[in-house]
Amino acid sequence: MSVCGTEMLPVTLLLIALIRFSTIRAADPVYCENVPKMCRKGNITWIRCFEEQSANCQPRMHEGSNWGNSSQSINVEEPSGHHVHIPSTVFRRGRARRNVMVVVTTISSEHFKLAQRRSLRKINQPPRVDGSVMNNLVLAVKTVNYTLRNLDHPITLTFKSSSQVKNGTCVFWHESDPINGTGYWSTEGCNTSYVGTGFLCSCNHLSFFAVLVNPSIKLDKHNATYLSYLSYIGSALSAFLTIITLIIYICLQRKRPEKAIGVHLQLTVALLCLHLSFLLCSFWVRLDEDEDKVCQAFGLFLHWSLLASITWMALEGFHLYLLLVRVFNIYVRRYLLKLSLVGWGFPTLIAAVCGFSGVYGKYKLGLTDTNHNLTMCWMSSQFPQKLNVVSYITVVGFPSLVILCNSCMLGVVVFKLWGLRRAYGGWNKTHKEKGTTLWKDCATVVGLSFVLGLPWGLTATTYVSLAGIYIFTVLNSLQGVFIFLWSVAQTCKSRDDNNSSVKDPSTQKMMMTSLNNSNTA
């Protein structure tokens, strides 16, 4: 049900339970089922119009309609599957009034305008809850010209869910500003129960009710196309620049055979495989849609590349731990060989097990428009149980653990930088020198964040908003570009260290425990 001139939702039904209905009627009666349509064209706020028109409307009696009275409970079933049960005790409290009319109808959530969140809440104001209205439908259960609150026996509302959503919350609409018609959703007086096919809400008052959920963002056709182009362009650019980065690290390795450069080189190889495999898996389905064996091989290659990249990011964090935390007595024999066995052996083992299990194949990403799907070589959508288990363990659980550990290591780096600047008088400089030092430290932290793979932690933002999906896509598809900039910075730093004397004691201390320390292992 839209706001401006479109047809009403087919699920909209206005059912009036009339108790002791007055016999006085207007000359031109307004039927209650037409009230929502009338209020769309008014100038006043929709909720106020709905309440005022409902007070004067007349029900249109149909054959077979069931009407409650003051001694009976009322059960109302909406065409959308929503169900309302109002116990008879509700109407006993209303006998003091001559006319008691209960309106039950389904309304589009577009009519409810959210007010801006305030830092302080007024006294006796119900707490606010944010989320998305399930199915964009609100169930109105209102008494006309009469307010019923703090019921001894609550009313029950059953909201049928069209999808497997289990994190819903029953709420009611609190109008905070009647003039502007704005308000918010609150849970006060309502309890939520999940009943398998939907949500059961028990509330001790009558109001506008809904179920708030926080589902994962589904893309429409246009946004999916834009994100695909961004991913392809970013991955292609990253693949090209990672090749240049490999050449840079190979040259640095020949001049200075240091362990840290070897770790960076291995990570760069893994990222190159990741970007190339992504492009192959994306375009192969379009070139040959019938070949499953090749698509399975590409899906295995993409999964292996992703695991290898995450593993080498974890090893980067481990290497950083040895440099900054355990500075002394950390000699490890054949250090790079042992890291390589872990960095390449672990992903190979996992991918081999998944390959023998028949996990890989064509993966279809369903969009809001069910007639359009994005297909790529990944884990097959034909086996949803296998897909969920493998994805949660290897694509969600393992990267989350790595990002958590590497975030802690980045915090250690920031703490070390701050301590060294303070110990060696790094902050007792002119404003210009302090600004230059601050920029260098910030560049170091940002560069390390990409080396450690921290932008992958933005996966959580993809469940919140569409902007989060765009940010995640851009940053991670361009990770090869940032690794290239990091390698260039390492090269420039190496030249500056060889061509100039170090006068800053804090900088000299940082050089002793820098990422390029050859005495690490």
Across residues 374-386, what is the average pLDDT? 78
**Distance from C-alpha of 455 to C-alpha of 482, rounded to nearest angstrom:** 11
Q: Which two tokens stand for residue 441?
A: 């430290």
Can you give the pLDDT at residue 289? 61
pLDDT band for position 22 (cuts 50, 70, 90): very low
Percent of the chain topping pLDDT 70:
66
pLDDT band for position 509 (cuts 50, 70, 90): very low
For the cut 50, the answer to whether the pLDDT of residue 49 exceeds it is yes
Can you give the pLDDT at residue 385? 67
| C-beta atoms surrounding 321 within 10 Å | 16
Give the bridge partners for 75, in sequence order: 85
Q: Could you read off the pLDDT of 336-346 as tens digits, one per residue? A: 999 999 999 99
Across residues 289-314, what is the average pLDDT? 89
Using alpha carbons, select from 468, 463, 487, 481 the residue that is nearest to residue 233.
Answer: 481
Q: Could you read off the pLDDT of 67-108 as tens digits, one per residue? A: 334 445 566 665 566 788 888 776 665 554 445 667 777 777
Q: Confirm if 322 and 361 have CB atoms less than 8 A apart.
A: no
For the cut 90, the answer to whether the pLDDT of residue 316 exceeds it is yes
Instruction: Say which residue, 390 or 29, is predicted with more confidence.
Output: 390
CA angle, residues 379, 381, 387, in degrees to nearest 5:
55
Domain boundaries along the sequence of the chain: 14-213, 221-512
Across residues 408-425, what is the average pLDDT? 80
Q: Which of 47-56, 252-261, 419-428 has the lowest average pLDDT?
A: 419-428
CA angle, residues 357, 361, 366, in degrees to nearest 5:
125
Rg (C-alpha) for the chain, rounded Å, is: 32
Using alpha carbons, select from 139, 142, 147, 143 the residue that is nearest to residue 171.
Answer: 139
For the cut 50, the answer to whether the pLDDT of residue 515 exceeds it is no
CA angle, residues 449, 450, 456, in degrees to nearest 5:
95
Give the bridge partners for 143, in sequence order: 102
Instruction: Say which residue, 460 or 306, is predicted with more confidence.
Output: 306
Q: Which residue has the tokens 């250690």?
A: 412
In whole angstroms, what separates CA 408 from the centre of its chain? Answer: 23
Q: Could you read off the pLDDT of 432-485 as tens digits, one per residue? A: 666 677 777 788 888 899 999 999 988 877 766 778 889 999 999 999 999 999
For the cut 90, the answer to whether the pLDDT of residue 192 exceeds it is no
**Distance from C-alpha of 340 to C-alpha of 263, rounded to nearest angstrom:** 9
Write down the H helix ranges in 169-291: 221-255, 259-287
Q: Which of 116-120, 326-330, 445-449, 460-464 has the lowest average pLDDT?
A: 116-120
- pTM confidence score: 0.62
The hierarchical CATH code for the domain 14-213 is 2.60.220
φ and ψ of 172, to 5 deg? -130, 165
| C-beta atoms surrounding 59 within 10 Å | 19
Q: Is the dihedral of CA 316, 320, 322, 328 positive or negative?
A: positive
Can you give the pLDDT at residue 92? 65
CATH T-level assignment (fold) for domain 221-512: Rhopdopsin 7-helix transmembrane proteins (1.20.1070)
Q: Which residue has the tokens 């007639």?
A: 371
The conformation of residue 137, written as its DSSP 8-state character, comes to E
Residue-averaged pLDDT of the chain: 75
Q: Which two tokens stand for residue 342?
A: 């872990």
Q: Which of 113-122, 160-169, 305-314, 450-459 has the lowest average pLDDT?
A: 113-122
Q: Which of 117-126, 288-297, 338-347, 443-452 has the lowest average pLDDT?
A: 117-126
Burial track 201-214 (b if 16+ CB lie within 10 A, e otherwise): bbbbbbbbbbbbbe
**Distance from C-alpha of 459 to C-alpha of 119, rounded to nearest angstrom:** 28
For the cut 90, the answer to whether the pLDDT of residue 2 exceeds it is no
Q: Could you read off the pLDDT of 249-259 as tens digits, one per residue? A: 999 888 877 88
In whole angstroms, what separates CA 373 from the centre of its chain? Answer: 20
SS3 call for 129: strand
Across residues 42-62, what is the average pLDDT? 64
Fold: same for 14-213 and 221-512 = no
